[in-house]
A and B are shown apart, each in its own frame.
Chain A
Amino acid sequence: MFEWLIQPWPWYVAGPIIGLIIPLLLYLGNKQFGISSSLRHTCAACVPGNIAFFQYDWKSEGMWNLVFVLGVFLGGFLGGYVFQNPEPIALSAATISDLQNLGLSDFSGFVPQEIFSWGKLGSAQGLVMMVLGGFLVGFGARYAGGCTSGHAISGISNLQLASLIAVTGFFVGGLVVTHLIFPLIF
């Protein structure tokens, strides 16, 4: 009966639920769906310094967003730990083959443990994937004024040209790393 809590959900179930979060947040309190602002609010709360970008009332503007993100963390705990799917992800054969050619062999779990582990943090590859990668996610999201939730989902849903440009950038960047950089660092 509770199989659906364990098993992966198809895209045509998950996508519409994610889309409904936009009107849900608007209805609950006139809030714009977005995640990366939480990183700015955290900076404003912890280390504002004398940087103008972090001088604002983060509690009134951002507390809801920080609580929302705490919820995302808990949702990950429920979906990925409590109701963990023990099966490996049903990736396409072509992707597995491509990644094997890069040298990966373990396809269990959400992420390749051959790259994303505490032990790999000291390696050049680990630094690029985890530290540089994370840095660019934070820097790029704020520079572009939003991430996948704020631009790709909320922004395009609201027919914003700015968001279409940003999302085109997201994909150009992702394609460059996948097809040009990965062959160099694996």
Chain B
Amino acid sequence: MSLLKYMLTGILFGFVLTKAEVISWFRIQEMFRFQDIHMYGVIGTAILVGLISIQIIKRLNLTDKDGNPISIPPKDSSQKKRYIIGGTLFGFGWAFTGACPGPLFALLGSGITVFLIPILAALAGTYTYGALREKLPH
């Protein structure tokens, strides 16, 4: 039962992604062509609300529902290459598939079965990264 809350949160996220058409290849094209505010509005307001929420949690030292202090581990900013190279490669894939990982799963759920293929390919990409990790510049 402790996992049910994560499933419900995931359903909320998948539902919102779908209703806001964030899972649409067309919307991603519109974004990369700077032709509508829609995607920038979604991402921008999500960041704004996330930023305010995290500031409140940190300043008030809020705890989670079990009373444990909330800790948000920082990203490792000493590495740079991995974010530049990995980020750009991810961007290539984002434009080709029109979907980042969340939308991939929501698209499959919406009944577009062929998105099983990009998901399997993404697993292969993850596996390949794991296998080559030591040899890649970070």
Contact = CB atoms under 8 A, between A and B. Distances in A.
A136 B109 contact: no
Nearest to A64: B6
B116 to A, nearest CB: 10
Interface string B14-29: 1111111111111111
Interface residues of B, number: 117
Interface in A100-116: 107, 109-112, 115-116
Interface string B52-67: 0110110000101110
A177 B95 CA distance: 6
Contacts of B23: 76, 80, 110
Nearest to A47: B127
Given A134-B118, A178-B33, A71 B9 contact: yes
A64 B68 CA distance: 17
Interface of B: 2-3, 5-33, 35-51, 53-54, 56-57, 62, 64-66, 68, 70-77, 79-80, 82-102, 104-115, 117-131, 133, 136
Interface of A: 7-33, 35-36, 38-40, 42-43, 47, 49, 51-54, 63-65, 67-81, 84-85, 89, 91-92, 94-95, 98-99, 107, 109-112, 115-118, 121, 128-149, 151-163, 165-179, 181-182
